[in-house]
Amino acid sequence: MKRVGLVSALIYTSVSLLLSGIFLGVTVAGEYTWVASAGGAAWVFGLSMIVLMPVVIPAVKRRLGA
């Protein structure tokens, strides 16, 4: 069971970081201030963590047979 939590955390944290990095890259290239870009990236990271946690954990449990 501990392995499921670790694998799940690695997956949804990685995807959230990727999404927030993409957001940051797009907004820095635009005409947004650094504060707006960083704040938006933080929101994207937080919200994607909230959305991905309940989706990824059951999928990993099924995949690992736990």
Q: What is the pLDDT of residues 2-11, one digit of tens each?
A: 799 999 999 9
pLDDT tens column, 33-52: 999 999 999 999 999 999 99
Q: Is the pLDDT of residue 22 over 80?
A: yes
Going from the C-alpha of 10 to that of each of 5, 18, 30, 46, 59, the distances in angstroms are 9, 12, 30, 15, 13
17, 22, 54 from 50: Cα distances, Å: 13, 18, 8
pLDDT cut 70: percent of the chain above it: 97
Is the distance from CB of 7 to CB of 59 less than 8 angstroms? no
The structure's pTM equals: 0.89
Domain ranges of the chain: 2-64
Residue type, 42: A
Residue 50 to residue 34: CA distance in whole angstroms? 24
Mean pLDDT of the chain: 94
